[in-house]
A and B are shown apart, each in its own frame.
Chain A
């Protein structure tokens, strides 16, 4: 399966590798920052609880809060957002790929997966 010199497997592999490494790195920096500034007790207080009911709004809010200055919480939240975006981008790439490749069956199958994920991420 190739589109413009790149095959789907290579594109997906890049997305997964970069997504996981970047999110782990951000999470690591966030945890390191946390370790230098606060008590490290996992006490299940509400500020560490993810809030809202729309992932995309939460992701945008996380980016905006980083714009006002990085905190351990905003960095760790960003790491989780990047991690969750990684498989989402993988499906999005599949939809585009199969559409460009004119494979309607798999374009629709990947579009179904993308739609279910989008609805679940927006509606909970």
Chain B
């Protein structure tokens, strides 16, 4: 079995790698711990708590800069927290073997992020539907790279809410943020500008994680001596990764991303088959 120092170092490495390739939270830490012999349900429960720290920490500055759309986040959280509670409850009762396959399948959605690149930064001429207008789903932020204030409007919140419910189930079940999935819903359905979408997703993930953690904390799956070093290590690693992001070429990151996702998928499938 592992010791606290190993979990801490592994979490720093996973947090660093995760933030470099755009996979946040526990999508790397959980499989890495499983590879060291930690039962998958314990790793998922500790991962869920860890995500509260990583996402809340990274979202705080974007909230202050008013890039996060707080109203859209509050509306979408109604759906994602209910999904997370349902998902975490499922994990508490299903056989661990199934979770390996769900985890591997969910990793496929992280490839959606690649297809997203190169799409327009701010969607133009968005026609708001009635519910979006009623919910006042619009906003503005200062875009430093474009050098101007950007005004935008969102649409189709009901469909977006349904998508966020599904994202919440996946997040709660697997103890992850499901960030790539959430960002896709924001951009493809609600027509959020790219910067608003990624930062609002981080903001929402903290709340989704609390909802999932509310189930895990008393399901008998959360061990504090695993969660504590994982939480400190992943947050520290993500912080270090964020600082070194600009120094690495994006083509190198792209290859690294593919290798990491494939390795993690193969490991989880192997575990699922041999469990």
Contacts and interface: CB of A to CB of B under 8 A. Distances in A.
Interface of A: 1, 8-10, 12-13, 16-17, 19-20, 23-24, 27-28, 30-31, 34-35, 40-44, 48-55, 58, 73, 76-77, 79-80, 83-84, 86-88, 90-91, 94, 105-106, 109-110, 112-113, 116-117, 120-121, 124
Contact of A116 (B8, B68, B81): B81
B222 interface: yes
A31 B4 contact: yes
Residue of B64, B214, B220, B227 with most chain A CB atoms under a 10 A cut-off: B214
B97 interface: no
Contacts of B38: 42
Residue of B2, B75, B77 with most chain A CB atoms under a 10 A cut-off: B77
Given A9-B63, A58-B217, A84-B210, A50 B222 contact: yes
Contacts of A110: 74
The size class of the interface chain B forms with chain A is 35 or more
A120 B85 contact: yes
18 contacts: A13-B60, A20-B57, A20-B235, A34-B225, A40-B3, A41-B4, A44-B1, A48-B224, A50-B218, A87-B206, A88-B210, A110-B74, A113-B78, A113-B81, A116-B81, A117-B210, A117-B214, A121-B214
Secondary structure at the B interface, as helix, strand, loop or mixed, is helix
A116 B211 contact: yes
A109 B229 CA distance: 35
